[in-house]
């Protein structure tokens, strides 16, 4: 497909009807596998996956909106804006009704009237679809324990169902992959502007603002800020930003993370140098890049996270630390899609704890990240790329140059 974002009549681009249809089919297949008659989710990303409904940032923690889906029906929205207007704009929804309120702000037990209103409304929807005697999956509520107990009192078995939706979302559809490519291209615009802006006196927070502006110019719908660490903030590894002023000779690593285009996220690190890099800084970069590309070289359908771990140091002492849970993030990976961290999660600590291997499959999208810099050192390098898993390898989705880019070269 083309990377053009506008709807046009002269070439095939993202097919949104197919996107919704394919995702819903995957959800229903996993519901069938897990013997669920219906699901209710308050999780904003799972709401978007099931129904293409966008929960605005201020409302994401409120649990005021939810999506109900019966295995034999179409998505139903509870909450949101004016129901009639929402349904006019989103005609693929089976129905839209007003919210029952915010039980997370008032419910202490199952007798709470707001909680009971939600339970009664969901039970009515289950009866409407004839699945009231089947198991209900619950996802994304901080009051899950109260909902489970409340439904039990009503004669309905309710269970935790995040793994069901995780399984549906791990393998990306053709249109999801195209949207992820678009999200990656947005990050390239942001990195280019950041590289142009790096010079003595600019602050980490300034670079974050510059990157965010470029993303919003490309119509991203949400961001998670950027990681931006410079100079002494690069070692030990950190993942935030401050008002630190960048000085000549500083390394600067930046993560364009959570830059959400139509829901789909990025997680891509690049490292820059303010001025001419030293031999040691180049060596650190080469070290991090070698670890990253060794891991990427293993990626293909059928390998496991354990296989990928073979490409990385097997001791925390490599970085000068004593325990694996001190260096979880120094060589790691994760799925990425509607959430910044989709399954599978690739952490060596999981192997240490005895978590069974996870099989990597075609059309998963992975973000792989590595770090070079010994404990007590002056500099640290962080790099990360996003890859699409193929039958016999991978496609590199993040294309901003993976080099130690020297910025501000007045000499």
pLDDT digits (tens, 9 = 90+) for 326-338: 999 999 999 999 9
Contacting residues for 253 by C-beta, under 8 A, at least 6 apart: 227, 228, 229, 234, 269, 270, 271, 272, 380, 381, 382, 383
pLDDT at 411: 65
The tokens describing 208, both together, are 């974050």
Looking at the fold, whether 144 and 285 belong to one and the same domain comes out as: no
CA separation for the pair 96, 81 (Å, rounded): 10
Looking at the fold, whether 362 and 255 belong to one and the same domain comes out as: yes
Average confidence (pLDDT) over 319-326: 94
Q: Are 237 and 380 in contact (CB under 8 A)?
A: yes
92: phi then psi, degrees, rounded to nearest 5: -75, -15
**Residue 175, in any domain of the structure:** yes
**Residue 1, in any domain of the structure:** no
Cα angle vertex 307, ends 306, 308, to 5°?
90
Could you tell me the residue range of the domain that residue 401 belongs to? 171-407
Cα angle vertex 214, ends 372, 48, to 5°?
90
Give residue-wise pLDDT tens across range 195-215: 999 999 999 999 999 999 999
CA separation for the pair 153, 306 (Å, rounded): 44
Full DSSP string of 20-32: HHHHHHHHHHHHH
Looking at the fold, whether 179 and 146 belong to one and the same domain comes out as: no
Give residue-wise pLDDT tens across range 18-33: 999 999 999 999 999 9
Measured on CA atoms in the order 28, 34, 36, 40, is the torsion positive or negative? Answer: negative
- Measure Cα distances from 228 to 206, 244, 324 in Å: 10, 10, 24
Instruction: Say how many domains are in the chain.
Output: 2
Of 169, 202, 231, the one marking the end of a domain is: 169
CA separation for the pair 156, 179 (Å, rounded): 38
CA separation for the pair 223, 190 (Å, rounded): 12
Per-chain mean pLDDT for the chain: 96
User: Any idea what the CATH number is for the domain that residue 287 is in?
Assistant: 3.90.230.10
The tokens describing 87, both together, are 């349904």
Looking at the fold, whether 102 and 219 belong to one and the same domain comes out as: no
């Amino acid at each position: 497909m083309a990377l053009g974002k506008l709807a046009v009549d002269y070439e095939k681009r993202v097919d949104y009807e197919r996107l919704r249809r394919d995702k819903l089919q995957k959800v229903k297949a996993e519901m069938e596998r897990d013997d669920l008659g219906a699901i209710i989710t308050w999780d904003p990303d799972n709401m978007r996956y099931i129904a293409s409904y966008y929960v605005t940032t201020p409302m994401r923690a409120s649990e005021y909106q939810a999506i109900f889906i019966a295995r034999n029906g179409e998505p139903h929205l509870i909450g949101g804006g004016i129901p009639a207007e929402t349904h006019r704009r989103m005609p693929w929804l089976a129905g839209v009704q007003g919210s029952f309120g915010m039980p997370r702000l008032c419910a202490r037990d199952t007798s709470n009237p707001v909680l009971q209103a939600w339970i009664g409304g969901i039970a009515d929807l289950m009866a409407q679809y004839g699945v009231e005697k089947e198991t209900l999956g619950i996802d994304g509520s901080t009051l899950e324990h109260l909902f489970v107990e409340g439904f039990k009192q009503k004669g309905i078995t309710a269970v935790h169902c995040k793994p069901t939706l995780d399984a549906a979302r791990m393998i990306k559809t053709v249109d999801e992959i195209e949207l992820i490519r678009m999200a990656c291209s947005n990050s390239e615009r942001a990195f280019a502007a950041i590289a142009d802006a790096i010079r003595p006196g600019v602050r980490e927070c300034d670079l974050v603002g510059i990157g965010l502006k470029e993303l919003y110019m490309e119509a991203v719908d949400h961001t998670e800020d950027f990681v931006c660490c410079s100079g002494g903030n690069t070692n030990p590894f950190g993942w935030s930003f401050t008002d630190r002023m960048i000085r000549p000779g500083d390394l600067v690593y930046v993560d364009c993370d959570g830059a959400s285009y139509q829901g789909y996220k990025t997680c891509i690190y690049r490292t820059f140098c303010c001025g001419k890099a030293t031999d040691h800084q180049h060596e650190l970069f080469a070290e991090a890049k070698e670890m990253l590309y060794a891991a990427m070289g293993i990626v293909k359908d059928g390998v496991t996270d354990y296989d990928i771990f073979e490409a990385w140091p097997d001791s925390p002492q490599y970085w000068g630390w004593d325990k694996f849970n001190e260096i979880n993030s120094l060589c790691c990976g994760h799925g990425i899609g509607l959430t910044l961290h989709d399954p599978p999660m690739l952490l060596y600590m999981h192997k240490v704890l005895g978590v069974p291997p996870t099989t990597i499959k075609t059309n998963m999208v992975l973000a792989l990240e590595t770090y070079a810099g010994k404990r007590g050192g002056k500099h640290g390098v962080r790099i990360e790329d996003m890859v699409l898993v193929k039958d016999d390898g991978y496609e590199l989705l993040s294309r901003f140059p993976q080099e130690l880019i020297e910025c501000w070269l007045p000499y």
